[in-house]
Structures are given as structure tokens and as C-alpha cells.
């Protein structure tokens, strides 16, 4: 893997590290400053615009007691100043209930598109979606 | 909109036209010939590789009696030989049941990434996800 790809993979990991820490400042630094950023949380409609996207992350992080990611299948492709990263987000999260914290695990598949800026790769598009199907192959072939 | 963006938007529309027609040859022409293509159908895991991706489309189209798309919010951004298109897929589909065809409507949000090739823009990544949330804004802010 080239040094350039390493940088993109590190930028991708930083998205999940910011989420795990619930750190709004780090999350703001992950995202591009441009106002055409796009974000799809799993099962959500498409959110456009930096203010709206960052607000959604603040709400999600404020409502997440604990989350830990294990990324698998991370693949990065760079063309000029655009990088496309795909990965699987395997995560454990703590769900608060009247009897105490309950741990849940789930899987989301994600596409993350980064732009090269003067200070490094910044996230322009995040698209995460829930894996609802039971297997990797359609059953009818 | 520039002529170049028009071409990308047309390539994006062709994905949905091929699906509507259930035309395997058109669908094969939409996708890039490279073996690193990526596809996420709504609720599915991530499929990688041209053979696997095209097989999934063949199965889906064989099991779809009728589908019609109305794309909204189509936005395209080009950087060098990569184009990223985001859109909302509003669709009507006919679901066969014992009493005859039943019409259903639904919404999916999609990210489509194209590569510029000698013969035009070819689809490299499709990521569609179901909209399960009721509104565009989180309710807790």
C-alpha cells in the first residue's frame, strides 16, 4: 500500500475514532469545510450541507453511551484529489434500558468519499446502510 | 450545468432505465469492465467484483415484474476521471401476489460513483439504502 493510500485509510479510521470518543471537535475536523457535504446514516434520508450533517452527528453521539467499531474489508481507491473508501463497520454498542446497559452488535456497510485539501484528506460523503439480508448471495440463483 | 455534468447525469439515468427494462445487456454496459466494482443493494451486504455484482442484478431483475423510478435531488460532482452522483430513488413496483399485482411505492437514497473511460462514464460503485426513518431531521434536537 502506498503512503498516499495509508493517509486515506487513516482519515477513514479517524471518522470512527471521533464517533467512538463522542468528540464533536474531532468530528468537525474529519468533515470537509465545503457546504456540499453529504451524509446518509443507516436507514436515514440523505442529509446535505455541513451544518445539517454535523448537527446530526452531534445528536447521534449525544445519544450513544458507548460504541466500538471493528472495520473489515477496508478498500481505498484514489483518483486525483478524490478518494473512495469502502468498508464494513462491525460495532458493539451499549443500549441503555431500565435494567442497565445492554450490549448489541450490528453490521453496517459504508462508502466514504474524501477530498484532498491543503491539510489532508477531508470527508465529503458518508453513506452507511444497515445489512438486513441474511447472506452475501441472493438465494434464488 | 456543463456538458460534462450532463453526460454523468445521463449515465446515472441509464442505470435506472436498464433496471426498468430488465435488460441484462444494458445493465452490463452501465457497469465498468474492471473487476473492482462495488455494489450495495438496499439492506444487502457489500458485493465486490463484476461477475458477482452483475449476477445480483440479473437475479433482482428476474424477480421484478415491474418497476418505475422517479429520481429526485440528483447531484453530480466531477474530479478528474471520477464522478460522484447522489440521488433519491422514488419508485413504484408491482409485487405479484395470489390475487394479482399489487403496487408498492418506496424510497431509496443512492450514491453512484462513475469512472471516465474511452467510451464514456461507467459505473464503478453503487450504494443504495432504504429510508427507514420518518423525517429528515433527528427529533431530539
Which residue in chain B is spatially nearest to A107 when comparing CA positions?
A: B45
Tell me if B129 and A56 make a contact (CB, 8 A cut-off).
no
pLDDT in tens, A125-140: 999 999 996 654 544 4
| Predicted local distance difference test score (pLDDT) of residue A56 | 98
Q: Which of A37, A112, A126 is nearest to A75 (CA)?
A: A112
Q: Please check the confidence at residue B109 and state whether its pLDDT lies above 70.
A: yes
Low-confidence ranges of chain A (pLDDT < 70): 1, 95-102, 133-141
CB contact under 8 A, A40 and B109: yes
- Interface with chain B: mutation pick from A36, A52, A138, A139, highest number of B CBs within 10 Å: A138
Q: What does the pLDDT look like over B10-48, one tens digit per residue?
A: 999 999 999 999 999 999 999 999 999 999 999 999 999
| CA–CA separation, B113 and A82 (whole Å) | 11
Strands lying side by side in the sheet with B47-48: B47-48, B38-40, B120-130, B100-117, B82-97, B66-79
Cell of A20: 467512538
Has residue B140 got a pLDDT over 80? no
A 27-66 near B (Cβ less than 8 A): 36, 38, 40, 42-48, 52, 55-56, 58-60, 62-63
A134 inside 8 A of chain B by CB: no
ipTM: 0.90
Q: Which of A37, A44, A72 to mutate to test the interface with B (most CBs of B within 10 A)?
A: A44
The pLDDT of residue B138 is 47
With beta carbons less than 8 A apart as the criterion, state whether A122 and A32 touch: yes
Amino acid at each position: 500500500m502506498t503512503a498516499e493510500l495509508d493517509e486515506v485509510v487513516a482519515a477513514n479510521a479517524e471518522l470512527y475514532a471521533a464517533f467512538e470518543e463522542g468528540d464533536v471537535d474531532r468530528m468537525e475536523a474529519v468533515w470537509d469545510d465545503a457546504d456540499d457535504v453529504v451524509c446518509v446514516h443507516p436507514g436515514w434520508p440523505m442529509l446535505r450541507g455541513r451544518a445539517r450533517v454535523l448537527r446530526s452527528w452531534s445528536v447521534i453521539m449525544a445519544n450513544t453511551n458507548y460504541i466500538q467499531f471493528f472495520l473489515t474489508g477496508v478498500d481505498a481507491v484514489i483518483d486525483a484529489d478524490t478518494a473512495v473508501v469502502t468498508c464494513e463497520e462491525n460495532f458493539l454498542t451499549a443500549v441503555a434500558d431500565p435494567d442497565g446497559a445492554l450490549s448489541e452488535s450490528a453490521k453496517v456497510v459504508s462508502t466514504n468519499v474524501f477530498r484532498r485539501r491543503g491539510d489532508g484528506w477531508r470527508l465529503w460523503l458518508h453513506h452507511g446502510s444497515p445489512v438486513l439480508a441474511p447472506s452475501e448471495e441472493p438465494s434464488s440463483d
